């Protein structure tokens, strides 16, 4: 203990008053160890304390700006204690590239600012968003595959557990990859959202000599495994016996195939001849004219593209059919005429 002597001269009486001087507290920041030169990397900071700090003190590690100045230091780690030790810290993720960063340790009880680290902290790599590419795209059809590829790196870890640079995906979901570059820095990719659409499953139904397919964006009919020329509607009128199927492509671009449909001449062909007639205008709105030879009674049936009977209009003496335009949706229809002479069908379009 050191003493300061204070002399008071009062009537030749000497009074000596001892005063205790507080020892100076210092914090020396020692060499900083880096695990890598990446932004976001871990640091190991050793520091030496000279003097006594109060119980409840907390040490704080601060990092300078990119020029080594502490005008606006960034907190990179904390640790409770009163004596020398080692602190774990982390370079900020948003640190810029520099070789001049320095670190210091400060206390809060009492407030003491430690020395700057003798060595600089070097940041050569900053986090960059890795973009995952998909080939052929983010949307595929059931049964197809899209390939996801990360950026250039030394190692890869996908959220699927795969460790290759590319992965093949067949299921809907979110996919991303964490990459490690040559400097040992981990880079996170964006998230690829993959959608797998189901393929359509068309169904064929038959009425008389007409085949109907369930709806789709486009259709292609096949007869005995060969495509039928210009057969691209959901309705196919045919007179050829054999095996038919239809391929339907939906609004997502996915194509599905129906089951085989064995077509045979309906029994009515044995007692009726094909009926020849024409309709106009085609497309039509609410009036459709039937042009047919002869004056025998005519039965009319109107089917939609799915083979459902939607109307049984009556032909007036002038051969005109009248429809309630509000009852018919725009689209493709099949009109069937039956007389005692035979049966015939035509495709018509309602606009």
Q: What is the pLDDT of residues 240-295, one digit of tens each?
A: 889 999 999 999 999 999 999 998 765 444 434 567 788 888 888 878 888 877 77
Number of domains making up the chain: 4
Domain closes at, from 267, 296, 312: 267
Domain membership flag for residue 333 = yes
Per-residue model confidence (pLDDT) at position 17:
52
pLDDT at 199: 95
Q: Please indicate whether residue 54 or residue 300 has the higher confidence score (pLDDT).
A: 54
Burial status of residue 148 (CB atoms within 10 A of its CB: 0-12, 13-18, 19 or more)? buried
Instruction: State the CATH number of the domain containing residue 345.
Output: 2.60.40.1220
Q: Are residue 220 and residue 235 in the same domain, yes or no?
A: yes
Mean per-residue pLDDT, 216-222: 95
CA dist., res. 215 & res. 223, Å (int): 19
pLDDT of residue 313: 80
Q: Per residue in 168-196, is it b (16+ CB within 10 Å) or e — as a string?
A: ebeeeeebbbbbbbeeebbbebeebebeb
Q: Which of 162, 197, 232 is the last residue of a domain?
A: 197
- The domain in which residue 210 lies consists of 204-267
Sheet holding 273-274, edge to edge: 273-274, 342-350, 331-339, 299-304, 309-311
Strands of the sheet with 320-322, listed across from one edge: 277-280, 287-292, 320-322
- Answer whether residue 10 is part of any domain: no
Choice between 14 and 68, residue whose per-residue pLDDT is larger: 68
| CATH code for position 81 | 2.60.40.10
pLDDT, residue 273, reads 56
Mind listing the pLDDT tens digit for each residue in 80-102?
999 999 999 999 989 999 999 99
Helix/strand/coil for 270: helix
User: Are 137 and 103 members of one domain?
Assistant: no
């Amino acid at each position: 203990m050191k003493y300061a002597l204070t002399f008071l001269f009062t009537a030749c009486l000497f009074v000596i008053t001892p005063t205790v001087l507080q020892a100076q507290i210092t914090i020396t920041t020692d060499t900083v160890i880096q695990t890598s030169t990446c932004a976001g990397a871990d640091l190991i900071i050793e520091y030496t304390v000279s003097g006594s700090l109060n119980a409840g003190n907390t040490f704080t590690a601060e990092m300078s700006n990119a020029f080594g100045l502490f005008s606006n230091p960034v907190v990179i780690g904390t640790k409770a204690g009163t004596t020398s030790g080692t602190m774990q810290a982390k370079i900020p993720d948003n640190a810029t590239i520099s070789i001049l960063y320095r670190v210091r340790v400060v206390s809060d009880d009492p407030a003491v600012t430690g020395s700057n680290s003798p060595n600089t902290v070097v940041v050569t790599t900053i986090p960059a968003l890795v973009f995952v590419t998909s080939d052929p795209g983010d949307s595929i059809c059931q049964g197809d595959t899209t390939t996801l590829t990360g950026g250039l790196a030394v190692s890869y870890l996908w959220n699927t557990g795969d460790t290759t640079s590319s992965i093949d995906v067949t299921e809907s979901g979110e996919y991303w990859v964490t990459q490690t570059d040559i400097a040992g820095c981990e880079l996170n990719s964006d998230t690829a959202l993959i959608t797998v659409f189901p393929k359509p499953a068309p169904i064929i139904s038959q009425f008389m000599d007409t085949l109907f397919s369930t709806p789709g964006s486009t259709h292609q009919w096949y007869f005995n495994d060969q495509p039928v020329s210009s057969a691209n509607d959901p309705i196919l009128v045919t007179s050829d016996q054999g095996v038919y199927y239809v391929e339907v492509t939906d609004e997502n671009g996915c194509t599905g195939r129906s089951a085989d449909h064995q077509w045979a001449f309906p029994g009515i062909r044995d007692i009726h001849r094909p009926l020849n007639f024409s309709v106009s205008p085609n497309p039509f709105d609410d009036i459709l004219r039937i042009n047919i030879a002869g004056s025998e009674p005519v039965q009319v049936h109107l089917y939609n593209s799915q083979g459902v009977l939607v109307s049984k209009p009556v032909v007036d003496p002038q051969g005109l059919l009248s429809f309630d335009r509000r009852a018919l949706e725009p689209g493709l229809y099949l009109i069937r005429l039956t007389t005692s002479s035979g049966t015939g069908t035509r495709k018509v379009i309602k606009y």
